[in-house]
Amino acid sequence: MSRDPLVITIGERTLALQSGDITKVPANAIGNAANSALRGGGGVDGAIHRAGGPAIMRELDAIRERIGKCTPGDAVATGAGDLPARWVLHAVGPIYRDGRHGEPEALASCFRRCMELAGELGARSLTLPAISTGVYGYPLDAAADVAVRTVVEILKAPETRLRRVTFVLFGKAPFEAFQRASNRLLGPTP
């Protein structure tokens, strides 16, 4: 049976996996699975805007005026409105085709950008959803592999100011996929 949450120590830092609704889990910064237009949508994006309130979209309107679209693999930061956090990091995941069109690189880049932005803002804790695994169709096990590998790599690096990264996974299937990925990459947790 799977332990939930699953907490893994990486040096002085922590990687955690838990199931649930990311809008309910307090953290300094929350990652979002947005789209290039930054106009909100369904899935986790819809849940974040509903729970966070209209202040988040007002900030995104201003960002859109400045930069136009946000390319897949990149992310932008706003305040978190009514969410139990200070910042939301809106990352744009790749739309999955067959895995040979730069999807793994773009997905890794989303997680890297979220962690970079979180570090720049001074966040110590970050929650992340399983970006691209809903509407964008990225197969769960492959996405979990990229997500866990990228986050662990950065948590092992001396520069990051982040202390704790938690994947908040919506349901049993994504939770178990991320657990398998962490077992593959880090070995089974004692």
Is residue 33 near ligand AR6 by the rule CB under 6 A? yes
Segment contacting ligand AR6 by CB under 6 A, of 8-16, 43-51, 65-73, 98-106: 43-51
Is residue 35 near ligand AR6 by the rule CB under 6 A? yes
In this structure, how many other beta carbons lie within 10 angstroms of the beta carbon of residue 147?
26
**By CB under 6 A, how many residues form the interface with ligand AR6?**
24
Among 115, 174, 177, 178, binds ligand AR6 (CB under 6 A): 174
Is residue 139 near ligand AR6 by the rule CB under 6 A? no
- Give the residue ranges of DSSP H helices in the chain: 43-52, 55-67, 103-121, 140-156, 172-186
Tokens, residue 19 = 């199931």
Alpha carbon of 83 to those of 43, 74, 102, 118: distances in Å?
A: 16, 22, 33, 16
List the interface residues with ligand AR6, window 152-171 (CB under 6 A): 168, 170
Cβ proximity to ligand AR6, 17 vs 130, nearer residue: 130
Is residue 133 near ligand AR6 by the rule CB under 6 A? yes
Catalytic residues: 45
Minimal CA–CA distance to 33: which of 92, 113, 84? 92
Q: Is 80 exposed, middle or buried (0-12, 13-18, 19+ CB in 10 A)?
A: buried
Considering the complex, what minimum distance in angstroms separates the CB of residue 36 from ligand AR6?
A: 8
Among 34, 89, 115, 177, binds ligand AR6 (CB under 6 A): 34
Is residue 179 near ligand AR6 by the rule CB under 6 A? no
Minimal CA–CA distance to 138: which of 40, 72, 39? 72
In this structure, how many other beta carbons lie within 10 angstroms of the beta carbon of residue 65?
8
Cβ proximity to ligand AR6, 3 vs 172, nearer residue: 172
